[in-house]
């Protein structure tokens, strides 16, 4: 298992809509995340849209991302979510996660 922290930035004018979409994530998307080893997945957002994500993956983060990349539910979700994010180079949110280095963990 690998613990992963990452950052993304939601556009300030889209924060409320972004949160609303996360109140009703499709069962297909939730199932795909589970099948590709995403566990204990949480998103935290600051008032300006800076978001910290935390997930535990079964194998490694890249394998979990690669598995999701072939899922139709994920392709639809990423296309829906793309306009919500600030991204200097454009692209899907799952391709712009800034992975953080874990420097401490207490069990």
Residue 107 lies inside a defined structural domain of this protein: no
β pairing state of 98-100 and 2-9:
antiparallel
Measure the CA–CA gap between 58 and 54, rounded to whole angstroms.
14
pLDDT in tens, 47-93: 999 999 999 999 899 999 999 999 999 999 999 999 999 987 777 88
Name the residue range of residue 30's domain: 2-100
For the chain, what is the domain count? 1
Q: CA nearest 54: which of 39, 64, 36, 74?
A: 39
Assess if residue 74 is contained within a domain.
yes
CB atoms near residue 89 (< 10 Å): 6
Q: How confident is the model at residue 96 (pLDDT cuts 50, 70, 90)?
A: confident
Which pLDDT value is given to residue 59?
86
Q: What pLDDT is recorded for position 4?
A: 97
What is residue 88's predicted lDDT score, i.e. its pLDDT? 72
**CATH code of the domain containing 7:** 3.30.70.100
Residue 20 maps to a domain: yes
**How does residue 36 score in pLDDT terms, banded at 50, 70 and 90?**
very high
- Of 22, 103, 31, which is closest to residue 68 (Cα–Cα)? 31
Report the predicted TM-score, pTM, of the whole model to 2 decimal places: 0.91
């Amino acid at each position: 298992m690998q613990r992963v922290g990452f950052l993304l930035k939601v556009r300030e004018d889209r924060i409320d809509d972004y949160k609303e979409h996360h109140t009703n994530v499709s069962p297909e998307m939730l199932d795909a995340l589970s099948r590709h080893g995403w566990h204990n997945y949480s998103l935290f957002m600051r008032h300006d849209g800076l978001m910290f994500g935390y997930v535990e993956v079964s194998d490694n983060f890249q394998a979990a991302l690669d598995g999701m990349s072939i899922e139709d539910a994920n392709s639809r979700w990423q296309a829906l979510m793309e306009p919500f994010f600030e991204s200097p180079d454009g692209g899907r949110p799952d391709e712009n996660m800034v992975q953080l280095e874990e420097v401490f963990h207490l069990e």
